[in-house]
Structure 1
Amino acid sequence: MTRPTIHDVAREAGVSLSTVDRVLNDRDGVRQQTKSRVLEAIDRLGFQRNLAAANLSRKRRYRLAFILPDGPNSFMRLLEQDLIEAAEAALLDLTSVETIKVPPFDAGALADLLRKLDADSLDGVAIVATDATIVRIAVRELRARGVAVITLVSDLPGSERQGFVGIDNVQAGRTAGSLLGRFCRGRSGRIAMVTGSMLVRDHAERRLGFEQVLRTEFPDHPIIAPLEGFDDKDRVRDQLAAKLAEDPEIIGVYSMGAGNRGIAEALSDLPSDRAISVVAHELTPYSREALLDGTFDAVLNQNSRREVESAIRLLREILDGQSPTTLPEPIGIEIFMRDNLP
């Protein structure tokens, strides 16, 4: 069944195309009786206006900002590059996209930035959230000033954000647990976790899912308390190397944040007869190299380009008054091993 067009509406209402266009774009010059007739025709036909075309016709511009953590996190830098490329394409749809960086894992800095944003020059914001009350309050204040807010990669539940674009991080943690448990099957020993920070929701949710699977399905592999590396490869390397030297019973490592270079460097100093299985996140040049040389066993990945494009689309839909649940598909979790690298 074909969708009704503006021509069908004009024919049904007995008016010209220009009259329908005026009604759709809420312009003057149409009598109330005629306007009512057009609106009734729209309802009868089930006409759905093409918002993109309508916005182009009235030259509506969208002004969006993406707030990302600064620092050496390879995935965030990949996301930033994707944003630069997506911003160029978005200009064709009258959408300007800027990237703003804040110190990583710094809830105060993120909240301060949200409060300082100029609501008169901005329509929507996507943030990689730090899970803190002051950030929730800042989001609420920004919404009250008329700016649309969604979260990207790391969510902020309980806030007034209008949508989230990213993977299911509990599911990602469960997947990591299932993989690592199988990689370590047949060996006795403990499992180490390396996180960026428990201040971000995505890492906390990954830990939850990971521990659920390890404790129920692989109880013979006790889990030690997570090491917080704050996505800094040197800190990750030093902490993990010290823990591996202290505890010779560690047989597996789950890296749920960045700093994968530090993981690889810590493992490179181990004797050749000590086997450590590793599951990490995000397919970056460093994790790819670790897969190829056998240091990592598996990498869970999220498609950063798809997340950027979906976030831009979601913000535009919210600003157009559409339901914020219209994201076409959830962001899936990709599992890469050495033999299926793209």
Structure 2
Amino acid sequence: MLLHHAGGTLVAKTTLQDVAREAGVSLATVDRVLNGRTGVHVRTIERVQAAIERLNYQPDRLASRLARGRDYRFEIVLPTGANEFMRMLEAEFRSTADRYVQERVRLAVTHVDVFDGEALAAALERLPADIDGVAVVALDHPAVSEAVNGIVERGVPVVTLVSDLPGTKRAHFVGIDNYAAGRTAATLLGRFLGHRSGKVGLIAGSLSLRDHIERQYGFEQVIAREYPDLMLLPLREGRDDDAQVHDVGRALLAEHGDLVGIYNVGAGTPGIVAALEESGRAREIVFIAHELTPFNRRHLVRGTIDAILNQDPGHMARSAARTLLALREAVPIVPGQERIRIDIFVRDNVP
């Protein structure tokens, strides 16, 4: 037990050796329990945790990292492609990584085609065996779920980003309530349209992405209940690709002269903007999109986009890093701090 000064008074500070002695186990066993590693009997874990509570042990986490002899290594798995929001999220992770170097934590970014379940699963399975945590934009695919569970079973915490996999052993989800986002989009579109009737188009990246499914479900529920004069068209997929989404948007406009609204569930908004402006109907069709990217911001101000639902990529990157570190060091996650809000922007309040 060490002594340190607190307001001029010497105060006893509990050490790992004290915990090991109290629990009747080795120092290595205490370290395994604190770091969530496998291979420790459940009763031993309970004994160590009880000793920690009795002694009110507060670990010096930076000192513990120094004692490990190497930094924590977290892998961030993001989509390939030109998705502007994902590029913003990557930039925020790189900025977060710069700040965490002094904390003995390193973040590395890996790019994968997240629309290809087999490719994403293979990339997860190829991650180094000695990593300390993974954050991944996940596809709802059996092979991806199996890969995530395999990583967790090795004692490595996994958090999902943007799109969740709640049926897996992942530890935490970093993202907005996507069901609520879809409901909010429907309310905004219905209010903007007032008493107009007509058809509404939905465009998603993929219905294998849970965030897109949840947004679609929330949107459809509110439109069906609150706005019976609006007819929802079957959802069309564009893989969050600007060119593909442009083709989808152009087809919607050509096929439905009575189209009054569009909700883009995912990315690819530049494609819809181009289709609307080419048609000359941009001012008569209410368009709700996601994410306040530089492009979306510009066209929100111009009036082609009527409202944007946003999730802050900086908050998400910092939250994912804090959460992985908390999971790795077995300290509580602060729910209020890690809750990602749904921001609503119109042209009058855009930052």
TM-score (norm 2): 0.85
Distance 1:320 1:274, change over 3 A: closer
CA distance in 2, matches of 1:135, 1:22: 38
User: For residue 23 of structure 1, what is the aligned residue in structure 2?
Assistant: 17
> Could you say which residue in structure 2 is the equivalent of 1:166?
175
Of 141, 148, 171, the match for 1:139: 148
Q: Distance in 1 between matches of 2:119 and 2:233?
A: 31
Residue 23 of structure 1 aligns with an amino acid whose one-letter code is Q
- The answer for the alignment partner of 1:115 in structure 2 is 125
Shift of 1:271: 3.2
For the aligned residue pairs, the C-alpha RMSD in angstroms reads 2.9
Q: Secondary structure at the match of 2:239?
A: coil
Identify the match of residue 199 of structure 2 among 190, 200, 210. Answer: 190
Show CA shifts across 1:32-86 (max 9, x none): 7xx9xxx999756745344345434665621100000100111111111111111
- C-alpha distance in 2 between matches for 1:54 and 1:173: 44
3-state SS of paired residue (1:225): coil
CA distance in 2, matches of 1:136, 1:155: 11
Q: Aligned residue for 2:100? A: 90
SS at 1:186 equivalent: coil
Q: Corresponding residue for 2:221? A: 212
| Aligned twin of 1:297 | 306
Distance 1:21 1:286, change over 3 A: same
Mapped pair 1:154 → 2:163: yes
- CA distance in structure 1 between the partners assigned to 2:140 and 2:51 by the alignment: 48
What CA distance in whole angstroms lies between the structure 1 residues aligned with 2:78 and 2:225?
A: 36
Write the distance in 2 (CA, Å) between the matches of 1:179 and 1:65: 37
The match for 2:32 is none
CA distance in 1, matches of 2:276, 2:202: 14
Give the aligned length: 325
Tell me how far apart the structure 2 counterparts of residues 88 and 292 of structure 1 sit (CA, whole Å): 33
Letter in 1 for 2:256: D
Question: Is 1:276 aligned with 2:321?
Answer: no
What's the offset of the Cα at 1:138? 0.8
Distance 1:239 1:184 in 2: 22
Q: How far off is 1:196 after superposition?
A: 0.6
Specify whether residues 159 and 327 from structure 1 end up closer, same or farther in structure 2 by C-alpha distance, changes over 3 A only.
Answer: farther
Q: Distance in 2 between matches of 1:166 and 1:246?
A: 35
Q: How many Å separate the matches in 1 of 2:63 and 2:283?
A: 62
Could you tell me how far 1:289 is from its partner in structure 2? 1.3
C-alpha distance in 2, partners of 1:300/1:228? 19
Distance (Å, rounded) in 2 between the aligned partners of 1:182 and 1:22: 60
Aligned match for 2:136, one of 97, 111, 127: 127
Alignment deviations for residues 140-162 of structure 1 (CA, whole Å, 9 cap, x no partner): 11122232111011101101111
- Secondary structure at the residue paired with 1:222? strand
Q: What is the aligned-residue identity percentage?
A: 43
TM-score, reference length from structure 1? 0.87
Residue 341 of structure 1 aligns with an amino acid whose one-letter code is: V
Query: Which residue identity lines up with residue 109 of structure 2 in the other structure?
Result: T
Letter aligned with residue 113 of structure 1: A
In the other structure, the counterpart of 2:78 is 68
1:309 is displaced (CA, Å) by: 0.6
Matched-pair contact (CA < 8 Å) for 1:59–1:94: no
Taking the aligned partners of 1:40 and 1:247, their CA distance within structure 2 comes to 66
Conserved in 2, the CA contact under 8 Å of 1:180 and 1:252? yes
Q: Which residue of 1 aligns with 2:44?
A: none
In the alignment, structure 1 segments of 5+ residues that lack a partner are: none
Find the counterpart in structure 2 of residue 261 from structure 1. 270
**Cα distance 1:58–1:218, how it changes in 2: closer, same or farther (>3 A)?**
same
* Amino acid corresponding to residue 103 of structure 2 in structure 1: D
